[in-house]
Amino acid sequence: MTTKSKKKRIPSGVYKNDNGVTLKEVRCASCNRFLCYEAIEVGIIQHGCHACKAITQVSMVPGDDDEAPENMQEVRCGKCGRFLYKEAIIKGSVRTKCRGCGKWNTLNISEDTVKNERDGGENEQG
């Protein structure tokens, strides 16, 4: 009798957006579950794990001591409004899937778009 071994799905660890930017996978620091993809050049995101409730922070702020700024903004799903994560990104991209409705949400911030998006403009939702 032979037994079939189940192949374990191995995630690629990267996602390439429409602009050709490669985003890397972010996993929970506590339980290693997938949280989001990111390509942050300057800024901070804090993402809470839905499984273990730990908060993972990704920080790319030159010369900073990795403390989260007080002016972090909440990012919510473009479809259902569910809270996704907090961010204070100056330049970069984050892509995450809503745990509520399953929609992929993409936030792209560049030096040119910061003023428009921070002043009530719409973020790209993908």
Q: What is the pLDDT of residues 33-91, one digit of tens each?
A: 989 988 888 888 888 888 898 988 888 766 555 566 777 889 999 999 999 999 988 88
Q: Does residue 8 belong to any structural domain of this protein?
A: no
Identify the domain containing residue 93 by its residue range: 14-118
pTM for this predicted structure = 0.68
Q: 2 in a domain, yes or no? A: no
Question: Is residue 74 included in any domain, yes or no?
Answer: yes
Structural domain total, the chain: 1
Q: Which residues contact 56 (CB under 8 A, 6 or more apart)?
A: 26, 27, 28, 29, 30, 35, 46, 47, 48, 49
In a domain, 126, yes or no: no
Whether residue 1 is contained in a domain is answered as no
